[in-house]
Structure 1
Amino acid sequence: MMAPAKLLLVDDDETIRYTLGIILRKHGFEVTVASTVNEALKHIGSEVFDVLLSDLHMPGAGDGLTVVSAMRHANPKAVTILLSSFPHMDAAAQAILLQTDEILVKPMDVNMLVDAIKQRLAVGPTRTRLVESVATILERSTDSTISDWYELVEKEESLTAIPMTFQLRSGHLPQVFQDLVLRLRSSTILGTKELHSTSAAQHGTARRQQGYTAAMMVEESRILQVSVFNTLQKNLANIDFSVVLIGVMTIADEIDSQLGQAMKSYLAESIVDALPA
């Protein structure tokens, strides 16, 4: 007969530890319980487990992710499962899944919980996922993001009032994305004086000559931000979440900066147009 799977149950709720521990033992697991992150870390450092079942939200220093990270480091062959009380956390779940194998929502049927643990044991731990910076994701997704942007623009009647080819409409964007990637990889402090962009100035002049209004320029820029953030959403499972917030803020700052520079040249062109011949 195979030895029972060793399971570490981590939860600050005494009732859950007691009742769930009894149930899991009845289903053939060898269960060790821990009520705090520190207690769990001590067990992980001194014993070998097949399964970690931990509450995500723990009081005091650390949380379920701290325990998962420790288990992954000490025993990469162990299956790691988190319990959460929040049923709607798709985005957060993708981030957490960079470290843990599965998330289960509390409360859940005990039989379903046991089946989920056994199924995950049969599959084994998830392979390490590719983690990328925001800059890398935008760099490799430039073409698809521009295509998504163009589709959204083509649905906006205020913009399609001026018909254009794909090239005329989006020709400025490859340089915009190069500037975004450069800005994300630089050490420029958020909110510092904008770096001069020749392409942004040229874009403003071109849009004036093509008949755009100022409102159309702003709407076009808004759609660009939406498209970029949609791309990040699609790649959420790969994002390095330690820098994602500053990355998002930098993107918004850079796109706004480029719009501001484009508007300056747009207005300058408008003044030239207004001069007597």
Structure 2
Amino acid sequence: MAAAKLLLVDDDETILLTLDIILRKHGFDVTIAATVTEALKRISSEVFDVLLSDLHMPGPGDGLTVVSAMRHANPKAVTILLSSFPQMDAAAQAILLQTDEILVKPMDVNMLVDAIKQRLAAGPTRVRIVESVATILERSTESTISDWYELVEKEESLMAIPMTFQLRSGHLPQVFLDLVLRLRSSKILGTKEIFSEAATEHGTTRRRQGYTAAMMVEESRMLQVSVFNTLQKNLANIDFSVVLIGVMTIADEIDSQLAQAMKSYLAESVVDALPA
């Protein structure tokens, strides 16, 4: 089978040359371009199976320009964009242009090669599934909780209190139900928080388990990180028309639940301090 012809576009010479060598070693027939102009010339004169392009480049045009040209000249080619700092408006345009993948740099080389091969096997995308933030969190609850637990396991202060996975994470399924409900509601940001019985119970439970207030805050911070990592992994499927308000709502709801948990935590502390 002939090697897949791949056009690699990046203004960073080090990345360009390094990926050129790596991709050739993995069996790709690589053509490189350091500018959008050079890439467009290549696209107009050659046939490619894959486009792998940086999204952000100096000068006229960017990765989206290259994607558009490739779609027009080589409609059967799969298109993959690389971005160090994904911008919401740019990513939204990439989706509209039917870019097949948006990958975030830095990325493990083996993962990149696997992503290219998987996309080649699947072929170019013509119909993309676009999902709301709520839907993504709803279907990714279990994996997000797993990601959160991995972060917790690396935090010595939290792991100093021995606890099973269930005891440590048992409150999170309800948190995600509340997040999804909040995202699908019309509640305005900054309005009075909705009472959460689960958050109140969580604060009391954590006090009895021996958590400090600082540990509660750190645990909540890790939850936000895990949720946002989940959204990052699903960047290509997000409905960008509502993503900003979705991210703000997530932060607001998690902070609201932390505030309610801390309130019950402190109330339990007062009870503990009362004379027997």
**One-letter amino acid of the counterpart of residue 185, structure 1:** R
Residue 126 of structure 1 and its aligned partner are, at CA, apart by 2.9
Partner of 1:213: 212
> What does 1:252-271 correspond to in 2, within 5 Å?
252-271=251-270
**One-letter amino acid of the counterpart of residue 227, structure 1:** S
Residue 91 of structure 1 and its aligned partner are, at CA, apart by 2.8
Partner of 1:97: 94
- Normalising by structure 2, we get a TM-score of 0.62
Residue 100 of structure 1 and its aligned partner are, at CA, apart by 3.4
Partner of 1:245: 244
**One-letter amino acid of the counterpart of residue 98, structure 2:** T
Change (3 A) 1:228 1:101: closer
Partner of 2:125: 126
Partner of 1:275: 274
Change (3 A) 1:240 1:209: same
The count of residues paired between Structure 1 and Structure 2 equals: 203
Change (3 A) 1:24 1:259: closer
Change (3 A) 1:102 1:180: closer
Partner of 1:176: 175
- What is the distance in 2 between the residues matched to 1:182 and 1:192? 16
Change (3 A) 1:28 1:200: closer
Where 1:97 maps in the other structure, the secondary structure is helix
Residue 81 of structure 1 and its aligned partner are, at CA, apart by 11
- What is the distance in 2 between the residues matched to 1:193 and 1:255? 14
Residue 127 of structure 1 and its aligned partner are, at CA, apart by 1.7
- Contact 1:79–1:101 (8 Å) recurs in 2: no
**One-letter amino acid of the counterpart of residue 204, structure 1:** G
The gaps in structure 2 that reach 5 residues or longer are 1-35, 48-55, 58-63, 102-121
- Contact 2:193–2:256 (8 Å) recurs in 1: yes
**One-letter amino acid of the counterpart of residue 176, structure 1:** V
Answer with 1 or 2: which has the greater Rg.
1
- What is the distance in 2 between the residues matched to 1:214 and 1:176? 19
Where 1:151 maps in the other structure, the secondary structure is helix
- What is the distance in 1 between the residues matched to 2:46 and 2:275? 90
- Normalising by structure 1, we get a TM-score of 0.62
- What is the distance in 1 between the residues matched to 2:77 and 2:248? 33
Residue 24 of structure 1 and its aligned partner are, at CA, apart by 7.9
- What is the distance in 1 between the residues matched to 2:236 and 2:150? 25
Deviations 1:124-183 (A, max 9, x none): 863211110000000000001001111110110010111100010000000000000000
Residue 96 of structure 1 and its aligned partner are, at CA, apart by 3.7
Change (3 A) 1:208 1:28: closer
- What is the distance in 2 between the residues matched to 1:124 and 1:206? 50
**One-letter amino acid of the counterpart of residue 91, structure 1:** P
- What is the distance in 2 between the residues matched to 1:139 and 1:88? 26
- What is the distance in 2 between the residues matched to 1:178 and 1:23? 50
Where 1:230 maps in the other structure, the secondary structure is helix
- What is the distance in 2 between the residues matched to 1:261 and 1:160? 23
**Does residue 229 in structure 1 map to residue 228 in structure 2?**
yes
- Contact 2:204–2:265 (8 Å) recurs in 1: yes
Change (3 A) 1:102 1:156: closer
> What does 1:190-209 correspond to in 2, within 5 Å?
190-209=189-208
Partner of 1:139: 138
